[in-house]
Structure 1
């Protein structure tokens, strides 16, 4: 059996322990996946040529993107070392989180996808969307949602 645990590195310790315990009891291989979005190009609010407001110019610095990727990799590695006492397979991917989670689940032929489920307000859901909702709606494999409450510790 294979379990894919998709993390955003903000999961409370209780949640990661519960997933690790579940995978141990099921004698399942645990694949921990962290997906991060690439840095969007930042529009300049002022046209540098005319000085007038114009959003037609975009700034992109590859060095900034590289630094972001290295930082994500470092944080993910630290998360794995701190949170898991047994060996896990780790995967760090760039892309849109929900689509990447679903693609990875198919590619790895996992038996179960595990996600943390935060309780967002209506406005927050409307503005930000929900990776969890998108995964649940489009998954072809079972999905287990681990509730995350505001009072849980993040370590």
Structure 2
């Protein structure tokens, strides 16, 4: 499996790359090859401070590459110019990536608009599973918030087709997952209000237990994003796993929904699985 690891060479990105536990977790789920990507913003041009961004970033990304190679992975590096999320998506598609990884911390509401913008834009438009690796906020030398990426999973489902697609990610996540909490949030707008969510969650839990994962189920009622975040606070997972419906291209661009809320507001990591 191949992974794109996007870095802006910030402290948050460095925390993602230097963490050996995170690299070990990615190796367990089958990642063998990393493509380190850093994007020089398209509005940086001749005569502006920082014009040597390409050279500086190339030197920095080589250091990161050695860290990953020393952990036993194959690595390729890409220093490109353009709009970050578009170039990251383009490279992921070109190499046939199985996963895109980006670090995000959002130190303050203002910074979150800037530093977190790439993660949010990827959440809206990614065509491969996206892992947002949460980094400590408010410190000069940050570390990852959760050491073990996939050890304790919180899987949120509305029983849609794409939620099922997200669940199928356990086929490879199971090699690094020990526990999982499955949550469904019932709302007045649910198309299947008469369905039995406890039974349906129970069937999914049985599948996980067959894979050796301890599973529990939770049914809540209310606003989906708020209730999923409340469940995260209660069970303290390492990563929240969720699918994005995105029934149309327009809807994906205007996501503004549960999955984007989770990417922006979750305490820990978020893995977002887009539509096929």
TM norm structure 1: 0.70
Q: Provide the secondary structure at the position in 2 that maps to 1:141.
A: coil
| TM-score normalised to structure 2 length | 0.42
Pair 1:98 & 2:102 matched? no
Q: Quick check: 1:76 aligned with 2:79?
A: no
Q: Of the candidates 22, 25, 33, which is equivalent to residue 22 of structure 1?
A: 25
Query: How far is 1:153 from its partner?
Result: 4.8
Compare 8-17 and 137-146 and name the one that shifted more: 8-17
Change (3 A) 1:22 1:31: farther
Please list the CA deviations of residues 80-107 of structure 1 after superposition, one character each: whole Å capped at 9, or x if unmatched. 2245522322222121111111111111
User: Which blocks of at least 5 consecutive residues in structure 1 are unaligned?
Assistant: 42-59
SS at match of 2:93: helix
Residue 124 of structure 2 aligns with which residue? 137
- When residues 82 and 109 of structure 1 are mapped into structure 2, their CA distance, relative to the original with a 3 A threshold, is closer
The 1-side partners of 2:107 and 2:143 are apart by: 17
**Contact 1:20-1:84 at 8 Å conserved across structures:** no
Q: Does residue 107 of structure 1 match 2:94?
A: yes
From the superposition, tell whether residues 144 and 18 of structure 1 become closer, same or farther in structure 2 (CA, over 3 Å): farther
Q: Give me the whole-angstrom Cα distance separating, in 1, the residues matched to 2:44 and 2:77.
A: 25
- The alpha-carbon deviation at position 61 of structure 1 amounts to 3.7
Q: CA RMSD in A?
A: 2.8
- 1:12–1:153: 8 Å Cα contact kept in structure 2? no
C-alpha separation in 1, matches of 2:61 and 2:98: 23
Change (3 A) 1:84 1:148: farther
Name the structure, 1 or 2, with higher relative contact order (CA <8 Å, separation 6+): 1
Q: Is the 8 A contact 1:9 1:79 kept in 2?
A: no
Consecutive aligned runs of 4 or more in structure 1 exceeding 6 Å deviation: none
Partners of 1:141 and 1:38 lie apart in 2 by 24
Cα distance change on mapping 1:92 and 1:18 into 2, 3 Å = farther
